[in-house]
Amino acid sequence: MNVKVIGAGLAGCEVAWQLSKKGISVDLYDMKPLKYSPAHSYTGFAELVCSNSLKAKRIESAGGLLKEEMRQFGSIILEAADSCTVEAGGSLAVDRYKFSDYITNKIKNTKNINIISEEILEIPKEGIRVIATGPLTSDNLSNSISNIMGTNNLYFFDAASPIIKFSSIDMEKAFYASRYDRGDADYINCPMNKNEYEIFYTALINAEVVELKQFEKKDFRVYEGCMPVEVMAKRGEDTIRYGPLKPVGLIDPRTDFRPYAVVQLRKEDKDGTMYNIVGFQTNLKFDEQKKVFSLIPGLENAEFVRYGVMHRNTFINSQKVLNNYFGFKEDNNLFFTGQITGVEGYTESAANGIYVGYNIGKILLGEVPLILPRETMMGSLFNYVTNGDSKNFQPMGSNMGILPPLEEKIRDKKIKYQKLASRSMEKLISILN
């Protein structure tokens, strides 16, 4: 049987890849290059529109554990990431264009996948269908989804950080280092003393933001994991000093002391010609971004390749309408995957695509769908998204807190996380083999 996958983002590509490996034919629909969402601009599949980081590599971290689980399923996203890495200390970061090109070429040259460039305006009526259109689902299809669910979509707002040219950074003031010297010194750090921070902070909280459209205002909710830096700053003068500007684990080589605050920059491309201002998702007006962010020591003459932007994201109330393997409860042949379901993050979206594609394959082969153990990161995350209190459903990313506790109580967090990761991998490998 042929499967229709709508959307060639991270989740959609993983669904198509998983099905193709089982010999199942896939029609993969994507509206690019005929039409682009407000946040997309590149022609390739699996475009990264916010950060270029896929989070930590260490298996005893939530992001690292999730990626190791994904590797057990043969993730095409991680295959691409491993071939397109840029230095980022303990994180897995990629050259976003090479990353997209790798996946696009791989998908287009897979014999079981048929690419169709077309905007889907409503949910197809026939066959097995997978909606993987992401958090920026177009209005027509979004309305079609709302109609079949008998409820309105939910909304939150997502933001992206600015990108600047490396050549415009004053390295006499900035320095290379990774926090606690983990991995290589891949981050550029811009240190602030107390006076510099207070000047920057005052300018940040008083800067002008982009005015939301009237229809957006009524749905305005900011997702905590991707909060605009100016919104975070207004919660208190020290809030961002304990968040994206935290100086712990860093020593300024000019003073041999820890700075009062630190702004970190991470590579955007393999050659290091562009850098992302880490944690600086923003909705400030472009001229305000230039004015305020140029107050950061080392960025006084920064040239912006891309200013930060904020856009509306859409997700469905999965806990109310989807089953444990992301099938629509009222239609056995309709599935949803990726960030539209309420998983939050690049790897989370891709992992969800793996899971949905894997289970559709099992169903078509006459097998029972796989429900992952709660002890695995994928299992706990997907259980949260498809079960629980649907009245208070909010998007969720991977984190160690959603895993069931160990039988033994361990105070040392590092040891505890290592044991949680070992338990997860043992469980997953045992059921896949």
Taking only the tens place, the pLDDT of each residue in 161-207 is 898 989 899 999 999 998 888 778 889 999 999 999 999 999 999 99
Question: Is residue 50 scored above 80 in pLDDT?
Answer: no
CA distance 313 to 209: 18
In this structure, are residues 11 and 353 in contact, taking their beta carbons and an 8 Å threshold? yes
User: What is the pLDDT at residue 62?
Assistant: 93
Question: Is residue 273 scored above 60 in pLDDT?
Answer: yes
The pTM of the full predicted model, rounded to 2 decimals, is 0.77
Beta strands 274-277 and 309-315 are unpaired
* CA-based nearest residue to 286, from 268, 269, 309, 264: 309
Question: Is residue 215 scored above 50 in pLDDT?
Answer: no
Confidence of residue 225 (pLDDT cuts 50, 70, 90): low
CA distance 127 to 282: 41
In this structure, are residues 123 and 141 in contact, taking their beta carbons and an 8 Å threshold? yes
Please work out, in degrees rounded to the nearest 5, the angle formed at the alpha carbon of residue 81 by the alpha carbons of 427 and 97.
150
E strand segments, 179-248: 187-192
Q: Which two tokens stand for residue 337?
A: 């995957």
Taking only the tens place, the pLDDT of each residue in 55-110 is 899 999 999 999 999 999 999 999 999 999 998 888 999 999 999 999 999 999 99
Average pLDDT, the chain: 90
3-state helix, strand, coil in the chain (%, to 5): 40, 20, 45
